Amino acid sequence: MFCFQCSESMKGTGCTVQGICGKEPEVADLQDLLIWILKGISLWGVKAQEMGVKDSETGLYVAEGLFTTITNVDFDPESLGKKIDRALNVRRRIERIFKEAYRKEKGKEFSEPMPEACTWESSRGVESYKAKGAQVGVLDTQDEDIRSLRELLTYGLKGIAAYTDHAYILKHSDNSILDFLQEALASCLNDSLTAEDYVALVLKAGEYAVKAMALLDEANTGSYGNPEITSVYTGTYEGPGILVSGHDLLDLEELLKQTEGKGINIYTHGEMLPANGYPGLKKFSHLRGNFGTSWYNQQKEFEEFKGPILMTTNCIQRPRESYKDKIFTTGLVGWPEVSHIPNRVDGKEKDFTPIIEKALEIGDIGARPGKKIVVGLAHDQLSKVSDKIIDAVKTGAIKKFVVMGGCDGHAKKRQYYTDLAERLPKDMVILTAGCAKYRYNMLDLGDIGGIPRVVDAGQCNDSYSLVVTALKLKEAFGLEDINDLPIEYDIAWYEQKAVAVLLALLYMGVKGIRLGPVLPAFISPNVLKVLVENFDIKPIRTVEEDLSEIVG
């Protein structure tokens, strides 16, 4: 195996024996094969589009497949084997559709040679999938810079795919995003493309990352209303309880409906915290608050939480024996031998009965005190106080905003974000989204004239809200360049959704982003040079050094 897609890759270069995340080599090989076949599907898909074929089914499967291979989503060889079976069927189908359209238009059979990813077949199942996967992974691209750009592009696509998939689940669609996923993935099979071609595609991915986040914002707010400023309790109450982690709001809504009147309290965990701010979800009185912090603390926190746990998306970690029988996965998430709640069939709700029964069987989880934290400061709420914000900037009450969104993770170096948040001057406001916030959202950082010093817009995809806010401020101050705003960017990354967010910021022309805790292992020295020259990207340094630059 070889994987270097997240910030925690072994020795900062790549996992080769087993993933630090817990990914076994066979799982890595199966994921590599799935990505390779998705590239084959995409090339047929692009060709079909050229013949005027409109087919969102193929694009949606590509999105799901990409999402499946994001860090901490699917660790189950059996489910990956089934996803590859399905991918091969999707590929055969789109090949057939393309060939029919070609024959119709050209009056002859299509006979051009196609890359192996478009034609490879196997009837020998998972064992042959693993063997093939071992040959078609990241290192299959020999040139270091082309490999770096292809992977930067692919990881950005994974993030875009995840956000798009969430939006489609809520019945909001934009087929141009699905088309771009295929265009970009297919490009990774084209050996005649140059580094410049891939740089252009990477920036185009940034454009589509903005589109995907906007689509998901529309889907979330269209389904559940605009988030409202909400104070969320972080303790537990007496009585049975279920903890819901991940990003999928529809899963949470259906679980809330199915537990209504059953005496079960529902708590959010990790990236599900922002759900507490949506009117369409907070109306359920048994949504009682949030328990725990970010994904990387889950083994300790899931052990402490007495009730069952539902993982709706990443980031799942190896379940400890102490809670393996009460954690449930759903959607694209998988872990061997962990109970899985199956997908919706024929538009009907998922059936959460097994986890509900588990909660009732366990019974009282006990009351436990907790602090209160404020969520729900997405673009709509911010626009309601925009006059106040603009005044505060004009009078100097707010000197700067520091965007500190992104992901949390294990690295000790991430203490930087807590220390920086604590030491920022009192006239600076932190704008955040994603699980990175858990490094400082329990600190009492106060407010500036009623505006909290930690403005939490929501999940990592709600970085879109921060983009909207920045653009509104630019307009309000009559500025030409987004970089003239009093905003600093100090982004924490872990997995590939953060790569999509980063590409979105680059596409918007944001310069001088500090990236931590480490620079990605998949960025080669030459690609880094391009990023530094064009965007002034820099790694985080010590708190003192960065603080003096921010204050200066």
CB of 3 to ligand SF4, least distance (A): 3
Q: Which of 493, 496, 470, 485 is nearest to 417 (CA)?
A: 493
Question: How many angstroms separate the CA atoms of 101 and 95, rounded?
Answer: 10
The residues in 271-300 that bind ligand FSO, with binding defined as CB under 6 A, are: 271, 295
Amino acid at 240: P
Q: Residue 8: which of ligand FSO, ligand SF4, none does it interact with, CB under 5 to 8 A by kind? A: ligand SF4
Is 118 annotated as belonging to a binding site? no
Least separation in angstroms between CB 496 and ligand SF4: 9
**Shortest reach from residue 212's CB to ligand FSO, in Å:** 13
Alpha-carbon distance 417 to 436, whole Å? 8
Residue 159, strand partner residues? none
Helical packing angle, 415-423 and 543-551, nearest 10°: 40
Using CB under 6 A, which of 226, 314, 329, 432 touches ligand FSO? 314
Alpha-carbon distances of 289 from 235, 237, 373, rounded to whole Å: 7, 10, 10
Binding to ligand SF4 in span 19-38, by CB under 6 A: 19-21, 23
Under rule CB under 6 A, residue 234 binds ligand SF4 = no
Is 315 a known ligand-binding residue? yes
Task: Report how far residue 300's alpha carbon sits from residue 321's, in angstroms, rounded to the nearest whole number.
Answer: 12
497 is in an annotated binding site: yes
Is 188 annotated to bind a ligand? Reply is no
End-to-end CA distance of the chain: 45
Tokens of 191: 């050996």
Judged by beta carbon, residue 17 or residue 345, the one nearer ligand SF4 is 17
**Closest separation between CB of residue 178 and ligand SF4, Å?**
25
Binding to ligand FSO in span 370-389, by CB under 6 A: none
Which positions from 456 through 495 interact with ligand FSO, judged by CB under 6 A? 459-460, 494-495
Among 5, 69, 268, 313, binds ligand SF4 (CB under 6 A): 5
CA distances from 85 to 31, 38, 90, 126, 383 (A): 13, 12, 9, 9, 47
The minimum distance between CB 295 and ligand SF4, in angstroms, equals 13
Task: Answer yes or no: are the C-beta atoms of 503 and 149 closer than 8 Å.
Answer: no
Residue 156, interface with ligand SF4 (CB under 6 A)?
Answer: no
Taking the C-alpha atoms of residue 252 and residue 218, their distance in angstroms, rounded to an integer, is: 18
Read off φ and ψ for residue 18, nearest 5 degrees: -160, 150
Q: Is the Cβ–Cβ distance between 392 and 451 less than 8 Å?
A: yes
435 binds ligand FSO (CB under 6 A): yes
Instruction: Give the interface with ligand SF4 as residue ranges (CB under 6 A).
Output: 3-6, 8-9, 15, 19-21, 23, 71
Contact residues: ligand FSO, CB under 6 A: 270-271, 295, 314-315, 407, 434-435, 459-460, 494-495, 497-498
* Residue list for the binding site for [4Fe-4S] cluster: 3, 6, 15, 21
